[in-house]
Amino acid sequence: MSTTVPVRPPVPELRTAGSVLPAARPQTPFLRLDLDVAVARYRRLAAALPGTAVHYAVKANPDPGLLARLHAAGSRFDVASPAEVLAALAAGAAPGDLVYSNPVKRRTDIELAHLHGVRLFVVDTLEETDKVAAAAPGSAVLCRLVTPGEGSDWPLSRKYGCSTAQAVDVLTHALTLGLDAAGVSFHVGSQQRDPGAWAAPIAASARVFDQVRARGGRPHLLDLGGGFPARLVGGCPPPEEYGATIGRLLDQHFGARRPDTLVEPGRGVVAEAGVLTTEVIGVVRRGEVRWVFLDAGVFTGLVETLEEAIRYPLETDRDGGPTGPCVVAGPTCDSADVLYQDTMVDLPLDLAEGDRVRLLGAGAYTSCYSTVGFNGFPPLVTHVVP
Ligand X SMILES: *Cc1c(COP(=O)(O)O)cnc(C)c1O
Instruction: Enumerate binding residues for ligand X (CB under 6 A).
Output: 57, 59-60, 78, 101, 156, 187, 190, 225-228, 264-268, 364
- When the beta carbons of 34 and 295 are compared against ligand X, the nearer one is 34
Find, among 150, 184, 153, the residue nearest to 167 by Cα.
Answer: 184
Catalytic one of 143, 162, 326, 333? 333
Report the nearest approach of ligand X to the CB of residue 319 (Å). Answer: 29
Q: What is the phi/psi pair of residue 250, to 5°?
A: -65, -40
- Full DSSP string of 21-50: PPSS-PPSSEEEEEHHHHHHHHHHHHHHST
C-alpha distances (whole Å) from 149 to each of 60, 114, 380 are: 18, 31, 29
Task: Assess contact for 356 and 28: CB atoms under 8 A.
Answer: yes
Find, among 143, 104, 137, the residue nearest to 118 by Cα.
Answer: 137
Residue nearest to ligand X (CB): 226
- When the beta carbons of 57 and 296 are compared against ligand X, the nearer one is 57
Report the nearest approach of ligand X to the CB of residue 199 (Å). Answer: 18
Give the single-character DSSP code of 162. Answer: B
- When the beta carbons of 101 and 370 are compared against ligand X, the nearer one is 101
Report the nearest approach of ligand X to the CB of residue 179 (Å). Answer: 19
- When the beta carbons of 228 and 340 are compared against ligand X, the nearer one is 228
Query: E strand or H helix at 95, and its extent?
Result: none
Beta strand pairing call for 314-316 and 356-360: antiparallel
Report the nearest approach of ligand X to the CB of residue 62 (Å). Answer: 12
Q: What is the phi/psi pair of residue 194, to 5°?
A: -115, 105
Spell out the residues 6+ positions from residue 235 whose beta carbon is closer than 8 angstroms to its own: none
Spell out the residues 6+ positions from residue 168 whose beta carbon is closer than 8 angstroms to its own: 208, 211, 212, 215
Report the nearest approach of ligand X to the CB of residue 147 (Å). Answer: 11
**Whether 143 is catalytic:** no
Report the nearest approach of ligand X to the CB of residue 228 (Å). Answer: 6
Report the nearest approach of ligand X to the CB of residue 315 (Å). Answer: 23
Distance CA 42, CA 131 (A): 33
Report the nearest approach of ligand X to the CB of residue 89 (Å). Answer: 19
Strand partners for 78: 57, 99
C-alpha distances (whole Å) from 210 to each of 165, 166, 175, 207, 214 are: 12, 14, 15, 5, 6
For residue 92, the one-letter residue type is G
- When the beta carbons of 228 and 299 are compared against ligand X, the nearer one is 228
Q: Is 295 helix (H, G, I), strand (E, B) or coil?
A: coil
- When the beta carbons of 201 and 226 are compared against ligand X, the nearer one is 226
Strand partners for 284: 291
- When the beta carbons of 224 and 327 are compared against ligand X, the nearer one is 224
Find, among 357, 361, 355, the residue nearest to 304 by Cα.
Answer: 361
Which active-site residues does the annotation give?
333
